[in-house]
Amino acid sequence: MVRPGNPRFEQSAKDWLFDLAPTRWRHEQIFHRNPLELARALRLFLDADVLAMQAGLSALSSSPAGARHHRDDDTAIGVCIREQSWAAAVREQVRLVQEALLAVRTGGRPRRSGQEARQQ
């Protein structure tokens, strides 16, 4: 993705967001017209993914006493943990892109995170 300030930023951001979104979203014209809406919807989608992985971890971890432990449970737990971490990290990246898109639309600058502001 090209950096904000580049004339191709909005298209580049939209392409990246579509790469992360469910394929069927490419058929929704609102997302093509308004990449801010695409970013908002994608953040909600990633929020749901994080919650789904939490539910999966909870279900895998809370088997009743004496219940047979399936040999793939540990692998499934690892998948849930990795997916949850990935979704949380990508959700943060999408938030930053959303802020940059908003800044482009409003002619402002993206807000800096607290950590970035402290480093200045």
Predicted pLDDT at 73: 80
Radius of gyration of the chain (CA): 19
pTM assigned to the model: 0.79
Is 67 part of a structural domain of the chain?
yes
- Collapsing DSSP to helix, strand or coil, 73 comes out as helix
Number of domains into which the chain is organized: 1
Predicted pLDDT at 111: 59
Q: Which domain holds residue 112?
A: 9-119
Is 31 part of a structural domain of the chain?
yes
Predicted pLDDT at 27: 98
Is 3 part of a structural domain of the chain?
no
Is 4 part of a structural domain of the chain?
no
Per-residue confidence in pLDDT tens, the chain, 120 aa? 999 999 999 999 999 999 999 999 999 999 999 999 999 999 999 999 999 999 988 888 776 655 656 677 888 889 999 999 999 999 999 999 999 999 998 887 655 554 444 443
Is there a contact between 91 and 46 (Cβ–Cβ < 8 Å)? yes
